Structure formats: C-alpha cells, structure tokens
Structure 1
C-alpha cells in the first residue's frame, strides 16, 4: 500500500494470511482513473465485471473578464462494449462554481438540460432511464464535487456532455489567480458503518464508490470514486482554450502546474492573451492554475462590476486596503502549526508541507510563543503547551518536522480540538496555521467545530498538493476568520508562504463596516479582517434608484489603530438582461451563488438537524438563479426512446486519476480511509483466530 506492506511469518498461518490479505489489498487498491469511463456490467448471478470504455477527451473553453471566468467543460465518451450501458462518474469543479448549463449531444441531436428540485430531477432521470431514453443527471455532492449519470449509451455510440459554469478569479498580493480542479484526492471517511444510513445508499441509481455510508459521512458512497495512476501514460487527455481579458497591461502570465503557449494579439497591450497547453493535451492528474500580474501602477486599488436583471441591480466590489501598518502596533504572536502527516499526503505533498512549516518557524521572534501539532490517525504535540520561541525550542520543533512521514488516517477533528484547546493568553495574538490537503469527507462536522470552538484565535489554512479539497480549506479559513493559501507546486512554496507569513504579522484593516445608500442584500454578511495583499470583495443586490442619481458606498474600518475610510460612487448598470426571457447575467448568478454559500454556512453551523430549514431557504434561491445546489440538480432527457424494452442497460463507473505527485498507484479503499477497509481486515483476523492458527506473527512495516 504505497510505501507500506504487510509482512507475515509462520508456516500455514503465514500462507493463509497471505491469501486473505492478497484479496484484501486487491479490493482496497486495484482501481481505475479521473476522466476515464469504466463500464461495469451486472450479470444474472449479481457478479460485477468491469470494462474500459474509451474516454475520447475533455476540452476546456474559458473566457476571463475582470474577476469572472466563464467555463465550458466538454467531455466525450464512447461505449466500446457490445451492450447498452449506463455510466456514472464523480468529478471536481471549483468550490465557488455557479453551475447552470448542461447540454448532451447524441449524433446530430442536442438535448438541453434544466435545473429541477433534486428529488424531481431524480424521478425524471429514473423514468427516462427505465423507458430506454438517453438522459443525463448531475447532482452536487459537495460545492466542489459533482456526480453525473448518463443513461442508455448504445453499443459503439459516442456521447458528448457539455457543462457550463462561472467561477471567481482571485486576487492576492498583486497577483490574479484562477485554478480549475481536474482530479480528486481520495477522501478520508471517518465514522462507523451503520444500518440507519443504508436507506440513503439505495436512493441513488448508478454505481456507488468504494466507501459505505457512515454516521459521520452519510454520502460516503457518492464521493469516493476509484482512482489510479499509470506512470508514463497520458491519462484522460484534456485540452485548453483560454481567452484572457485582464483589462489592464500585464507583465507576466504564468502557470506553475502546466506548460503553456501564450499569444498576444498584435497591437493589444490591454491584457488580452490567448492560452493553450503547450503539448495540446495533458493528463487530468492535477489541478490547472494560471496567474497574471499587472504592470506596476496598473494594479487596481478599487474595481466594481454592475449589471441589471429583472429590475434589480447586482454589484461586485473589490477594494484594496492600505498595504502597510506601523510595526509599533504589532502584538506578540502565539503560532500553533498543525501539519497533516496522513497517508494521502505521501509523496510531494508531505515534502511541501514540511518545507512550508519550516518556513513558518523561521518567522518567529523571541517575543513570540509557538507549538507544533502533527496528526494522522491521532494527533501529537511537540510540546505540552505553547512555548517561548527560543533557539532551542525552535530546533526541537524543526527536528520533529524533519522526521515526520506520511502514514495513517486523517483524523482532523482531534487535531483541531488539540489546537483550540491550547491555553490562550490575552497578551498574544493566537494564530493556528493548518497545513493539509483537506482530503476528508466529514467537512460539515469540522466546520461546525471550528465555528463553535475557535474562540479569539484565527485559523489560516494552507492547501497542499496537486488536487486538494479547496472547498473545505477555503471555508475553514472563512469560519476561522483567517485567510486561505494554496500551494500546488514546489516553486510556489517560498513566495506563497512569504505572503501568508506577512499576513500573520498583522491584519491591515479590522472592524470593517460598509454603509450602503439604500437597503441591500450583501455577502458576506460579516466582513472579515483584511490582511496584507488581500482585497475586500463583496457581492450585493440593490433595488432600483432614480436614474439621475449616483449612489455612494462608504467603507470604514480601523488600520494601524486609526480610523480608515474609503468612499466611491456606484457606476450605472448595463441592462444585461432586463426581461424574464433573457439569460441570467453572470453577476446575478454570482450573487445567487454567494447567497447559497451563506445559507450553507448556517447549515454547517447548526448541524444536520437544520437540513429542513436549509432546504426551505436554499431551494428558492437556486431555482430563481438557475443554479446547482445541494437541493437542485441538472437533468437532460432525450424525448425519443433509444433502447428497446428487451435490452438491459448495464451499470458502469467513471474513475478519476490519482493526483500527480502521490505515491499511491491506485485506490479503491484509500490508505487514509479506515472505515470499510478496517472492518474487512478485522474480519480476516477473526477468521484466522477461529481457525486456531498458531505461531503467527504479523508486522506492519515500510519498504
């Protein structure tokens, strides 16, 4: 299993254990990869067989204007079997995606999808599937994870599915950034498999994942697709066509994750670029990230985007805070470093985490205090409590970080409890820096714990690896009133950790309040502290105002111990789509997405008991703005039956690629997931005990 193996000694006992564990390891680790369609048919005797279907490829078409990116993902599949098949696959999108468009192409036919309430969409899809019609159903499992089913693909048939969405461009420390997830890191599934959750498992059609539902992750079977990585092969090829319109002159356009070809139209120095992968196609084994930097003095101090829809004005506002604050106002810090050493971090991720943590130690001064917590299946602190940042203490912590190895489960809750239970001192600013890939399935429980137990601390998250769980990492930083940093490649460690460490030294603006010219819905509701290099970014919906007036927005806060204020007028809106029949403008859907996010946060804060109330609030918003959510789905149905009643469609699965840099070759039950795997192992050991095998020694070792 990655860098680990089972070793057994003893004659008959060793051979029996070897046979049992061979089957166990095969079930746990033999799996397919992200973007490849794997077709599995159920025979009359209920046995399941798997066959690869050719995944012809994925095409990404992006248009970036200002702070918004519009993305069209086109995936083409061909059924290479001689049977009718139904395909299921789980895939990632950006955690802030506003997903609203689905189109299925079958030959010359084009079938357009529509947003429906989730249970209605399932019934629509199930009826189409049973009647032999071609249909597609897409459901949100997490804000950054979606599950798609395609019904009734004919033998030898090719189907193309297009998914359209918008996502936010980030701005931090003078750099614009866009990241598109292309694969998943296997989720750790904590909890106990419980019969009360089995009913939920029977609701969804299609192929389930490698994990069973647990009391902590009821939808575990829907978020755990199989994954594999084959060295030297092009896995799930993807192409890119990106049109960047930055709206300002640029000094640099760059990607640390992929090699690009970048062209600039002649005579255009206003930030327009045409971008493709240098090799034409690449494997879907890592997220794609691109950054661009404006020329000096071209970076915006403020930006706003306004549009109008159905008589209402939608506004997105970005405002840069002052860049410096007097060092005389800085309080001593208490830095709690929490570092993930679980099995999913094996490979490049653990190296990036180690280097990042060591850089954080280098910023400590004798005025500061600190501690280091390492966690996997359990958590352990280097010191019993935060200690003075003396040279000897820092050296002790450095040795612990240099010795750490990736192994075991991702029991994140215990690590958070240990970090928040550190005794606090009002003379120190307590900062928790959480370094992990975030590959967990119990996000709701973790976010609830952060909200309830953070106290006066601030939580800063560092997302590590080529395919981290950015939804959890970003949301945890927001709940923790800190900031989010992502590191996708070794080249990013030094500059991005430097940016984070500058933020740790001082918040630039606190106690922020916005005064609006009229009643307004604005998100986020509670404006967080702003740190060095971070802009204020809010999205709002305003009612109509007199055409000749120009409303003024006032932003107030405290910077360097002194009052800080910025005033600026709101620009006139362009009537993008001021009628019922027109497409919903991107900015209106962005507002809808932010409102849904706010309502989701209430669900995470209040726990699963609030799910009914969350549904009542989220569903109308999702339907109004035609967005995917936990309570709405996209469904497309061809009206003409294609499969005759005498033919049976076979269930098939689409696998995901293992993230680049991970040492795991394949995963059916990931190394960091104890649930089902552990129960299988216990069963094998119990069987050996019942057989009365003696003189058997089993050792868990490393290669």
Structure 2
C-alpha cells in the first residue's frame, strides 16, 4: 500500500508540474499597468501581454493655455478578437474633453455620457460584436480606457485630448506624467464575497475597507531585468506670445528650435524615452517681457467667461514676518521613497533646517508604517538642536508602509502657541490610495496652521500634492532631482518668510453677479500669482476690485478688464474648476440628499462642457458589428515601468499572491509531504 501511495503522489506531482509549465502564466484582472493594454478573454482565463508600439504626445501652448493630444499605439498580435483595457496617468488639472479611437481604417469619436449609462452602452455594444471604447476617470490624474472587439493583427490608435493651464507659482510650466506610481493601500481587504460583487477594477491590490476602488488605481510594475519597455515621444509647439529668455526641461534632455519670433519647437534630444518619470518644461520671459497681468475672455452659449490673474503684493510692499513662527517638518520614509527619493527628501530637509532663523521653533516627524518625532515638542532653533536634527535626518532610511494619517494628526494636532505662526512642511511622494480620507483630516485639523507639500521623486502623486495644499491653505512644489533641491526649498521658504494675502474677495459693480472659482479664493503667497475663472450672465464690467488682508492690514487693488483677449477654452477652464469645487463639497458631506444634488451638479456641468469626470465618461461605438458571432475574445497584456529611482523590493517585497499554477504546485507539495509523514508514521508503528 505504501508503494501505491508513493506512486500516486509521484504521478500527482508530475501532472501538477506539467500543467504549471505547459500553461501560460496569465495575469489576473488585478494586473493592469499604467499605459498597458490588457486583452481579456470571454472565458475569464486571465491576461497575457500585448506589446505597445509607442506613445506620441503633442502639446500646443498658446499664451497660458496648453492643448495636449496623447496618441497611444497598441497592437493585437493574436489571431483572436480581443477586448482591451489600459490604465494611464494625466495631469491632475487636465480637462479631458475628447477621445478618438482608430482601429484599422475606422475612426470613432467618443461622446460624453453619465458614467453608468456609458458603461451600459459599452457593454451592450461589446456583446453585439461592435467596436467600442470607454474612457473613465478613477482619480483626477488616473484614467482607464476599455476597448472591445479589436480584430486580429490590427493596430489600435487611441487619441485623448485635454486642456490645462500652463502657469503656476509665478512661472510658465507644464508637467506631463508618464507612469502611475504604485499606491500604498491601507485597510483590510474586502471579503471575497463582497469583492466579487463590487471589484470591477484591474489592479494588483484588492479593494479595501479604506480604499474601495483600490483595484482600479494600482497598476502592475515590470520587475527589474524583465524585457520590454514603454517608450514615449514628445513634440511641444510653444507660442507664449512674448520673447523668451530660456526654455528648459527639468528631467529630460531636449532639443529646442526657434521657428520664428516667439515660437519654439521642443522635442526629446535622443528620440523616444522610457516612460518612468514625469516630463516637466519651464520657460522664462525675456527681461522686460514679463506679463504683469492677464485677462482672457470667451462667450459661450450666451454666457460670458473670463480668466484673470491675481498678482500678490510685491516684496517691496511686504514686510518679513516679524512674529516668531513654528515649523513642523514631516518626512515620508516609507518603502516607496527608497533610492533616489529618500536622498532628495533628506537633502531638502537639511536645506530647510539651514534656513531656520533665531527665535523659530521646529520639530521633525518621520512616518512609514509608524510615526515618530525627533523631539517630544517644538524646540528652539538653537545650534545644539539643529545639530541634533541634522544627524537625525542624515540617518533616515526608507522602508515600510505609507501610513500618512497618524503623521498628519501629529503635525496638525500638537498644542501650539497661537501668537506664533504654525507652518507644516510635508515632504512625500504621495503614493497613497486613500486621498479623500486624508483631505478630510487636513480640513478638520488645520485650524490656523498652514500646510505646504513638497512632491518628491520621478512620479509624485500630483493630485494629492495640490489638493492637500489647497485644503491646507498653503502651496506645493515638486523636487525630481537633487540638482534642484536648493532652489526649490529656497523658493518655498521665501514664501514662508512673508505674510500671505488672506481673506481675498472680488468686488464688482452693483448689478453684476458672477460665479467664480476657486471659491473661496485661497491665500496668495509671495511671487505666486493666482488664476481665477468666472462666469457671468451680464457683460463683464470695466474693472474689478480685489480686497484682502496681509499681516492684519487691509489691502486692495483694482484690476482693469478693458484689455481683454478673446480665447477659446476659457469656458472649459471654468467648468473644470467648478467640477473640482463641487467634488470637494461632495467629499465633505454625508447626507444622501446633499450628495445626490452635488453629483447631479457635477454631471450637468460635465455634460454641458463635454468633460470626463468622476461621474461622466467618454464612450464610442461603431454602429456596424465587426466580430462574427461565432468568434470569441482572447487576451494579451503589457506591464508598466517602475518609476525612476524607485526600488522594487522596497515597494513590493515578496509577491503578495501566487498564480493559480504556482498555488497548485504548493498544494501538491504540501499534500505529498503530508502523505510521506503518514507513510513514515505507519511504518514506525507497523
């Protein structure tokens, strides 16, 4: 009998190993990557890689507006019809208003629909064998596109267009993200029964109790040494409307050609680049050409829209903050900050410590899976305390999870002397999935503090950085290289050295009513102009008065509206800001009726202006059925890059899950071991 058991076990292991080696290792639906095409089979067998040919980005900049077209080329190399899914990043302030899908000779234009209706249209067309595509927003900076009924061997072109403003922090710039960095997902995974019902995403993470859509925002990452690379080409047509002193790329070598007066062409110097870090371009006006103010207007469907730039008081008007201040520095030391990111963060914090003044008080808080502070309370910026802090910062290493909530609580919740300014400088890559919960915490705990975020690394979560700074009534900046640490931290701390213009409001002539955003207008900091978009049913007045306070002193300035520049896209900029404002309110209320009303307002605004939002999607359907009824759908897939400077093992460590074949092998080996123990036990007692 023992021989029979052993022979049976040997046969079982042989079969299991054979199945595991002969079967392809299909990715499960928790494995969709940033900029990756996944071809899903109707049999639900999993996903196998499909190559991408290239991604072309075309950016046209006119004055302060950027119009961007992203063309992603994919190919279905299999002999079967396919459904495709891909996940990709866009700027957090992108107003996505157009999608075209090109399969073979046919181009299909996307239409804006309410999200649930768009899903229904897509699903029905897919079942009918019609070519169809769907673009959905997961976060303001993460989108998902689905493509169904792609013919064997066909190349697929997906063209997505969006608009954004190319001016921030008092300088002209644009940022194009190329990779969705892995997010830390807090909270226990939902139960299998619930997960099957609600998990419609394709990420590597399970939906959790704290991040219900985790599976939709966690693309997989190509392991070090794996073959294949996602590559991007870039063409920027720069027409700012004034001469430039310089044009520079922060992180990529570029070639710049001047085409004429005030027109420049920018492209990557060495052709396509690896899609593992954000692209950032800056341009500086020539001396004497700096815009002192800007006003763009548009008439759209009987309404008047305007975008105006508010200029803060200059350095010569402001006095440095005389009141002594408290600064809490918070540094992210989680695993995603490993490698180059933690070096940038340490250097940034050391530079900031050097800028502290006599009379300032400070503390340093680090967080990963846990939170700890250097000092039990705020301490004087003495020579001894600063030396202690420098040694502490120099020793920090990156490891563990990104439990941001306790760190924010510690920074905002400490007892403070209200006669002193309290400023929080938060240094992180923002690689978290529970942004909404953190925004709510900041709003609830801020009080009179101010929160400034510093985005670290090659692919920071720009949605978290900008929105956290908004709720924190501060500002944000990015550091993507150790070469720019000194300049960026100097810029930040210069803002902290001067009082902000607060309690800002626009005063218009009697009888003129407007709807303006952001609302309320945030604080204005030194050298940081702010754009305000507005809509009015009446003609715009000749001027508007801007009122505010700095250092408890009243301040006002009159802005003339006579020198207007007509410009398409102003209404889109207004609608994008309005949707952001409504979504902020949506996140902050709990009553069902209020949420429903705000959702309806978002949907109506998005439909009126043809914009993708949390509740609206672009869907395209080719009315002619393409896939024969008897043909089934098969699968292909692609992985995305690890952001430059990140360490794979710091982020993922050991794999969380096994493939079905690997699981079968493990079960088989455990059974074999158990059976051998039984045989040995029987021998011993026989």
**Shorter-normalised TM range:** 0.7 to 0.9
Counterpart of 1:114 in structure 2 is 111
Secondary structure of 1:440 counterpart: coil
More strand by share: 1
After TM superposition, list the pairs within 5 Å mapping 1:148-167 onto structure 2.
148-167=145-164
- 1:51-105: CA deviation from partner (whole Å, max 9, x where unpaired): 3322111111111112211001111111111222211111110001110101111
Residue aligning to 2:52: 55
5+ residue gaps in structure 1? 1-18, 20-25, 577-584, 692-703
| Aligned residue in 2 for 1:9 | none
Cα distance between partner residues in 2 of 1:194 and 1:160:
36
Please name the residue that 1:318 is paired with: 309
Which string of whole-angstrom CA distances, capped at 9 and with x for unpartnered residues, describes residues 367-399 of structure 1?
A: 011111100011101111111111111122212
Count of aligned pairs between the two proteins: 643
Counterpart residue number, 1:459: 451
Say yes or no: does 1:625 pair with 2:599.
no
- 2:375 maps to 383
Could you tell me which residue of structure 2 aligns to residue 539 of structure 1?
Answer: 533
Question: Does residue 602 of structure 1 match 2:585?
Answer: yes
Q: Deviations over 1:348-382 (max 9, x none)?
A: 11111111111111111230111111000111011
Long gaps (5+) in structure 2: 1-16, 18-25, 675-686
Match of 1:700 in 2: none
Question: C-alpha separation between the residues in 2 aligned to 1:232 and 1:541?
Answer: 52
SS in 1 for 2:328: strand
* Structure 1 residue 636 corresponds to structure 2 residue 620: yes
Q: How far did 1:492 drift?
A: 1.7
2:329 paired with 1:337:
yes
Residues 195 and 207, structure 2, Cα contact 8 Å, conserved in 1: no
1:417-566 to 2 correspondences below 5 Å: 417-517=409-509, 518-545=512-539, 550-559=541-550, 562-566=553-557
When the two structures are superposed, what TM-score results if normalisation uses the length of structure 1?
0.85
Question: Residue 35 of structure 1 corresponds to which residue in structure 2?
Answer: 35
Question: What is the CA-CA distance between 1:305 and the residue it aligns to?
Answer: 0.8
C-alpha distance in structure 1 between counterparts of 2:573 and 2:177, whole Å? 19
In the other structure, the counterpart of 1:170 is 167
Within 5 Å, give how 1:177-326 maps onto structure 2.
177-195=173-191, 198=194, 202=198, 204=200, 208-228=202-222, 230=224, 235-266=229-260, 268=261, 271-324=262-315, 325-326=317-318
Looking at structure 1, the residues matched to 240 and 563 of structure 2 have their Cα atoms a distance apart, in angstroms, of 21
Per the alignment, residue 680 of structure 2 pairs with none
Q: Residues 560, 419 of structure 1: CA spacing in aligned structure 2 closer, same or farther, 3 A cutoff? A: closer
Question: Residues 575 and 64 (structure 1 numbering): CA distance in 2 closer, same or farther, change over 3 Å?
Answer: closer
Deviations 1:25-57 (A, max 9, x none): x999x97864343546575xx653x43322111
2:103/2:150 contact within 8 Å kept: no
Q: Could you tell me how far apart the structure 2 residues matched to 1:160 and 1:426 are?
A: 58
State the 1:574 CA deviation.
6.9
Q: 1:571 to 1:308 in 2, by over 3 A?
A: farther
CA distance in structure 2 between the partners assigned to 1:82 and 1:665 by the alignment? 36
1:265 partner SS: strand
Report the CA distance between 1:203 and its aligned residue. Answer: 6.7
Cα distance, 1:201 vs. partner?
A: 5.3
**Alpha-carbon distance in structure 2 between the residues aligned to 1:196 and 1:620:** 36
2:97 partner SS: strand
Q: Which has the higher contact order (CA 8 A, sep 6+)?
A: 1
**Closer, same or farther in 2 for the Cα pair 1:573/1:109, shift >3 Å?**
farther
In 2, the alpha carbon distance for the partners of 1:599 and 1:493 equals 35
SS in 1 for 2:241: coil
Is this contact kept in 2: 1:259–1:278, CA < 8 A? Answer: yes
Alignment counterpart, residue 94 of structure 1, candidates 91, 94, 113:
91
Map of 2:338 onto structure 1 = 346
Residue 647 of structure 1: aligned partner = 631
Q: CA deviation at 1:571?
A: 3.6
1:631/1:332 CA distance change after superposition, 3 Å: same
1:497 Cα deviation from its structure 2 partner: 0.9
Higher mean C-alpha deviation, range 608-617 or range 527-536: 608-617
Distance, in Å, in 1 between the alignment partners of 2:134 and 2:367 is 38
Cα RMSD for the two superposed structures: 3.2
Counterpart of 1:364 in 2: which secondary structure? coil
Q: 1:664 to 1:108 in 2, by over 3 A?
A: same
Residues 225 and 634 of structure 1: CA distance in aligned 2, closer, same or farther (over 3 Å): same
Deviation at 1:605, TM superposition (A): 2.2
Query: Which residue of 404, 410, 427 maps to 2:402?
Result: 410
Distance 1:144 1:658 in 2: 18
Q: 1:504 to 1:221 in 2, by over 3 A?
A: same
Structure 2 length as normaliser, TM-score?
0.87
Asked if the contact 1:32/1:228 (under 8 Å) is kept, the reply is no
Question: What secondary structure is seen at the aligned counterpart in 2 of 1:413?
Answer: helix
